Amino acid sequence: MTDHATDATREELVRAYVDGDLDEPGRAEIEADPGLQADVAAQREVRSALAGSEPPSHATRERAIAAALAVFDAPAAAPVAPPSASLASRRRARWWAPAAAAAIAVVIAGGTIAVLTNDPDDEGSADQETLSDDAGDDAVAPAAPAATSQDESATMTLAATAAAEQEESAAAAAATADAAVPTLASPAELAAFAAGLRSAPMAVSTASAGDEAASATTGQPTTTRLSSCAPDAVALADLVVAGEVRRVVVRVDEARAEAVALDAATCDELQRVPLP
Amino acid sequence: MSAQGDHELVAAAQAGDRVALDSLLRRHYDLVHAVCRRIAGGSRDADDAAQEAMIGIVRGLPRFDGRSSVTTWMYRIATNAALDELRRRTRRPALHVVHDDAPAGEEVDPRAHRHVDAVVDRLAIEAALERLPEDFRVAVVLRDVADLDYGEIADVLGVPLGTVKSRIARGRAQLVELLGNRVDPGRRRMSAPPPDDPTPSTP
């Protein structure tokens, strides 16, 4: 080693020698210097020690790979309703709404006219009655219930259609909501998600599954529902646990500064992690 | 399937082939875990970081364009996951820093300067690595554990080649010093550094 060599150049020289990144004169310099050779030996020892890391357990490996594959599978597990279908559904609903209202109005108006026409106290009606013959009256009389039946049928058809539309919209909303529930692939993501909840306004209220779905459509952590699992602020999420996607209720344990995931179906605690 | 290269497996996985993805993850998991272990430290943190890395690989799959090697891409994800885990741990209250899987009897008392055989005590190595500046540690681990070449490390870290070489040189030298070999070059045993020893200064 030359006199002007600094520690840094010594280290560079040894590094290059160990990695086979040194030219012939450099190698000769090292091999001629017992001090540098000792450094090389020490670095090689450290290097082999570093490389000799303990392999992970089989269970750890399988768990990690399963979690990753669950993320890969996640989109297939929660199909999203195509936006076009949803839009088409809404368009149909918009078209049907005035049409249904108009049809119902016609039916009501028709019924009213029929009632007025049959009012025996009404002079106009009496005049009209005089214009009609008995046969005509006979013919009209049985026809009235038939007409009512048709009206009812039409009303029922409209109601059924409206219900079907509503169901379709609800299904589309539910599918969208399901897809919008965030998937938390790891404890770290759970912690980050829960940390987001902490900063969200705590507006806890009772809520049904429908509310749950509706709030989930925002895609944001929500605190506007009360779960039977946890009385404090919670949100829904899909959490990957041991390679399986589980629907969970997330809450923040402020006392311990931890995020807690409870199984949404059983309320069992599945995971507890420190908040970031 | 095992004959397939990484790029083929990635392409197949990008096309939705779950089996190909499974093979890719299995092929690299152990080394990813080793990198995480050396960067993040404790085995529990390494497990978490390696799982994060596996998930990160799956999530990043659609964006991988093949311009870098698959290993470079994967180790970049693993490195970031391990560093994230490390930073998370440093923010965590000490109460939570528990390595459940480390047998109580294996715990090192650094003050005792207990020597172990030439086959290095993993706890001593971990303790020394933990005291290494992060930049040095990552560079050394990517070189000596992941066996990446300088160019790949430069790509992973986004730093010039010269910086990579310098960090590796400084990192290894400090590791040797921390493990005691520099103090007694003839010694062929390593000891964990005492916790109160000042970390060697960086240039």
Residue A5 in contact with partner chain B when CB distance is under 8 A: no
Calculated CA dihedral for residues B139, B145, B147, B153, nearest 10 degrees: -20
Task: Kindly determine whether residue B46 and residue A56, on different chains, have CB atoms separated by under 8 Å.
Answer: yes
Q: A95 and A159 share a domain?
A: yes
Q: A159 and A108 share a domain?
A: yes
Contact A271, A184 (CB under 8 A): no
Instruction: Show residues of chain A in contact with B116, CB under 8 Å.
Output: none
Residue A106 in contact with partner chain B when CB distance is under 8 A: no
Domains, chain B, in order of start with CATH, read 1-93 (1.10.1740.10), 108-203 (1.10.10.10)
**CA B56, CA A185: separation in Å to the nearest integer?**
10
Q: How close does chain B come to A189, measured CA to CA in Å?
A: 9
Instruction: Show residues of chain B in contact with A241, CB under 8 Å.
Output: none
Report the pLDDT value the prediction gives residue A198, as an integer from 0 to 100: 73
The answer to whether residue A77 is domain-embedded is no
The answer to whether residue A58 is domain-embedded is no
Any idea which of A16-25, A96-105, B59-68, B187-196 has the lowest mean pLDDT?
B187-196
**CA B62, CA A21: separation in Å to the nearest integer?**
36
Query: What is the tens place of the pLDDT at every residue in A34-54?
Result: 988 988 998 888 888 888 777
Query: What is the tens place of the pLDDT at every residue in B140-152?
Result: 999 999 989 999 9
Task: Kindly tell me the burial class for residue B73, based on how many C-beta atoms sit within 10 Å of its own C-beta (0-12, 13-18, 19 or more).
Answer: buried
Q: Which of A140, A160, A179 is the last residue of a domain?
A: A179
Task: Kindly determine whether residue A42 and residue B176, on different chains, have CB atoms separated by under 8 Å.
Answer: yes
- Cβ contacts below 8 Å, chain A against chain B, sum to 159
**CA A163, CA A174: separation in Å to the nearest integer?**
16
Query: What is the tens place of the pLDDT at every residue in A60-76?
Result: 999 999 999 999 987 55
Q: Which two tokens stand for residue B87?
A: 């930073």
**CA B60, CA B55: separation in Å to the nearest integer?**
8
Query: What is the tens place of the pLDDT at every residue in A120-140?
Result: 444 434 334 333 333 333 333
Q: Which of A134, A153, A179 is the last residue of a domain?
A: A179
The answer to whether residue A65 is domain-embedded is no
Q: A114 and A173 share a domain?
A: yes
Q: Which of A179, A201, A227 is the last residue of a domain?
A: A179
Alpha helices (H) in chain B, listed in sequence order: 6-14, 18-40, 43-60, 70-91, 122-131, 134-144, 150-157, 161-178
Task: Kindly determine whether residue B34 and residue A53, on different chains, have CB atoms separated by under 8 Å.
Answer: yes
The answer to whether residue A57 is domain-embedded is no
Query: Which domain range does residue A88 map to?
Result: 83-179
Cα–Cα distance list, B1 to A61, A62, B10, B174 (Å):
20, 19, 12, 42
The answer to whether residue A64 is domain-embedded is no
Most confident of A128-132, A251-255, B31-35: B31-35
More confident residue, B197 or A5: A5
ipTM, two decimals: 0.74
Question: CA angle A112-A115-A117, nearest 5°?
Answer: 105
A245 closest CA partner among A230, A234, A261? A261
Q: A237 and A253 share a domain?
A: yes
Task: Identify the three-state secondary structure at position A253.
Answer: strand
Q: In chain A, how many domains are there? A: 3
Q: A247 and A200 share a domain?
A: yes
Q: Return all residues near B95 (Cβ < 8 A) that are at least 6 apart.
A: none
The answer to whether residue A242 is domain-embedded is yes
Query: What is the tens place of the pLDDT at every residue in A146-184?
Result: 444 444 444 455 555 555 555 555 555 444 445 567 888
CA nearest to A41 within chain B: B185
The answer to whether residue A1 is domain-embedded is no
Task: Kindly determine whether residue A68 and residue B93, on different chains, have CB atoms separated by under 8 Å.
Answer: no
Report the pLDDT value the prediction gives residue A228, as an integer from 0 to 100: 64
Mean pLDDT (chain A) is 65
